[in-house]
Amino acid sequence: MPLLSIEQLQVEFGGIRAVNQVSLSLEAGEIRGLIGPNGAGKTSIINAITGMVPTRAGRVLFENRDITSFAPHDVSRCGVGRTFQHAEIFPDDSVLDNVRIGVDHHSQVGFLQAAFGLPAARKAESETRSIAIGLLEAFALAPWHGQRAGDLPFGLLKRLDIARAFATRPKLLLLDEPTSGMSEAESKLVVDQIVALSRQYGTALMVIEHNMRVIMQLAERITVLQSGMVLFEGTPAEVQSNHKVIDAYLGEEMTDA
Amino acid sequence: MLVIVLAALAVVPFFLTSYWVYLTNLFLINAIVAVGLNILTGNAGQISLCQSSFMAIGAYTTAVLSARYGLPYWLTLPAAMAVAGGTGALLGYPARRLSDIYLALATFGFLEIFQVVIEEFSDLTGGVRGISIGRPSLFGVTLKSDLSLYCLVLAAAVIMIWVASNLMRSRFGRAFNAVRQSPYAAQALGISIGRVKLITFALSAVFAAVGGSLMAVVVGFIDPLEFNVIASLRQITFIVVGGLGSIAGSVIGALVLTALPELLRGVKEYVGIIYAIILLGFLLFMPGGLITIWAIIRDRIWRKPVKIEGANRAASLD
């Protein structure tokens, strides 16, 4: 049984078909790449899975459960996490609090326990803090834990977004261009940590990425999209040698690089 | 800082005339309401123009139960909190789908309806003529003196502020702030925006009801005019002037703006205009409110190291 399966998914914006009859499935713990030129529908697929845009047709099944019409927070509650292309962090909160909000996903602390600062709440609070600090350390963000998140440069915000998404310990994490705007060294650190954490938590990954070197190393399988449709699916080696993919996408990308 | 404030509040009233004790009571009541409103508006980012209706619910629940049914205060206060919390949640339910100007209009509508309700059920509420409330009794002891009444108000304020600060340091406070800053990211982390709206509306209503209930016994008389939209707007001024999203800011805002009308007695007819100027001035020149002054002083004294330089360096790890 696949962890996630998308069947004949269709997403439209004002008559424009952003995602057209896309079907794909993902096994538990798998690392999947999602590539394609701009406007191929990659982010729209993530938005559709997480319930942030309505689907026109098709189904999204997660652990055999139809989550197509779920609200975004319910999708998250099922164990599907995501990051954002432009790092949607909470700017006024501290870096630590950003990650703590992710860790809170599993908190059992009740309202009255929190309101009266009962021992159970305080104990949970210190556990939350140490888990969050651990994740900040993994992404080399610990020195800024007390800083207002909105004051950090973009590369750090991307790392924060990823750390926060892992904090919810998702079964499936959808990463939207995790290394964009990062230097080579920074992107290596991030990719290493993503792989390490996904192994540790058993998290399956679906990664949108424009950096071909990153995605070819990271992904076990890659789905290539073009104009909202699946062009090809295979191992990184198969993708790199496929003529359709080279003609449509990799060719220009390789000459760019 | 907190200790000094508490010590001052515990000692000072013994040296004040009863009028100043009364004013200090009003300040503490305003502070309770402002702290609750700030959680709703400053933290969760929801506008409400009907906080004074929740105050009215608190005030009238206490007034009706004690004046008409003779219940003691220690029973009417929890009743006031329960009724307001329930009404707040009821209002929060449709408000889940509204935001910004639509939410402002919906809450304004609720306020207007509630005014009419108070006036129409005059058998119970005294209608436009108002209703008188005797001195409160706690467990058989009637709080006759101004000072004993002050102790009740101070205790309530301390407890409510303590609860608010506990909540804001918990997962609930973090969720409230998350919804204000990025609804998308909040939802992606499993936070239900609808639930946060429901909880914060109910919570702020409970705070307002405690304020309203205390006001009923402190003033000894209430009428619907006390709880009109001007009162709601004044409460919004408290939190904007003090500092949105800050508990200390809410208290400071309530303090300054409770004292202000006293200082401006000579120019009473212009108080409304002065309020408007203060509100606009703070929105334009000090959007963080008075609390930012404290933050600046604190940073000067302890000289917090600014780490932005280091952040840039690490951003380019190579």
Quick one: pLDDT at residue B230?
87
User: A156 vs B193: CB contact, 8 Å cut-off?
Assistant: no
- The interface predicted TM-score of the complex, written ipTM, equals 0.92
Instruction: Give the Å distances, CA to CA, from A157 to A120, B129, B307.
Output: 32, 59, 15
Domain carrying residue B57: 2-228
pLDDT confidence of A255, banded at 50, 70, 90? very low
Q: What is the mean pLDDT of chain A?
A: 93
Of A11, A97, A2, A91, whose CA–CA distance to A50 is shortest?
A11
Other Cβ atoms within 10 Å of B265 Cβ, number: 8
Assess if residue B315 is contained within a domain: no
Quick one: pLDDT at residue B13?
75
Assess if residue B293 is contained within a domain: no
Disruptive mutation site among A83, A96, A104 for chain B (greatest number of B CBs within 10 Å)? A104
B84-93: per-residue pLDDT in tens?
999 999 998 8
Assess if residue B166 is contained within a domain: yes
Closest chain A residue by Cα to residue B195: A73
Q: In B, which residues are within 8 Å of A153 by CB distance?
A: 311-312, 315
Assess if residue B273 is contained within a domain: no
Pairing of the two strands B141-142 and B137-138: antiparallel
Interface membership of A50 toward B (CB under 8 Å): yes
User: B188 vs A71: CB contact, 8 Å cut-off?
Assistant: no
- The closest CB to that of B188, out of A50, A151, A186, belongs to A50
Q: Which residues contact B195 (CB under 8 A, 6 or more apart)?
A: none
- The answer to whether B110 touches B93, Cβ cutoff 8 Å, is no
**Could you tell me the residue ranges of all domains in chain A?**
4-256
Assess if residue B316 is contained within a domain: no
Q: Bridge partners of A198? A: none
Closest chain B residue by Cα to residue A125: B170
Assess if residue B135 is contained within a domain: yes
Q: Bridge partners of A9? A: A22
**Helix, strand, coil share of chain A (percent; to 5):** 45, 25, 30
- The answer to whether B134 touches B66, Cβ cutoff 8 Å, is yes
Pairing of the two strands A31-35 and A229-234: unpaired
- Average pLDDT by stretches of 10, chain B with 318 residues: 76 79 93 97 94 96 90 92 95 84 91 91 85 82 81 94 96 97 96 95 97 94 90 92 93 91 78 82 88 82 53 42
Quick one: pLDDT at residue B296?
83
Of B126, B149, B158, whose CA–CA distance to B226 is shortest?
B126
Assess if residue B57 is contained within a domain: yes
Q: What is the pTM of this model?
A: 0.90
- The answer to whether B177 touches A94, Cβ cutoff 8 Å, is no
**Alpha helices by DSSP H, chain B:** 2-11, 18-38, 51-63, 73-95, 100-120, 122-125, 146-168, 171-181, 183-188, 193-219, 229-242, 247-263, 271-285, 291-302, 308-315
Count up the domains in chain B and report the number.
1
Q: How far apart are CA B111 and CA B102, in angstroms?
A: 14
CATH number of A4-256: 3.40.50.300
A127-166: per-residue pLDDT in tens?
999 999 999 999 999 999 999 999 999 999 999 999 999 9
A165-213: per-residue pLDDT in tens?
999 999 999 999 999 988 889 999 999 999 999 999 999 999 999 889 8
Q: Which residues contact B80 (CB under 8 A, 6 or more apart)?
A: B57, B58, B59, B61, B62, B209, B210, B212, B213
Disruptive mutation site among B162, B165, B168, B174 for chain A (greatest number of A CBs within 10 Å)? B174
User: A101 vs B181: CB contact, 8 Å cut-off?
Assistant: no
Disruptive mutation site among B170, B199, B203, B246 for chain A (greatest number of A CBs within 10 Å)? B170
Quick one: pLDDT at residue B272?
76
Interface membership of A159 toward B (CB under 8 Å): no
Quick one: pLDDT at residue B316?
40
Question: How deeply is A216 buried, as exposed, middle or buried, from its count of CB atoms within 10 A (0-12, 13-18, 19+)?
Answer: middle
- The closest CB to that of A72, out of B169, B187, B316, belongs to B187
Assess if residue B235 is contained within a domain: no
A10-55: per-residue pLDDT in tens?
999 988 899 999 999 999 999 999 999 888 999 999 999 999 999 9
Q: How far apart are CA B278 and CA B273, in angstroms?
A: 9
Of A209, A188, A137, A77, whose CA–CA distance to B186 is shortest?
A77
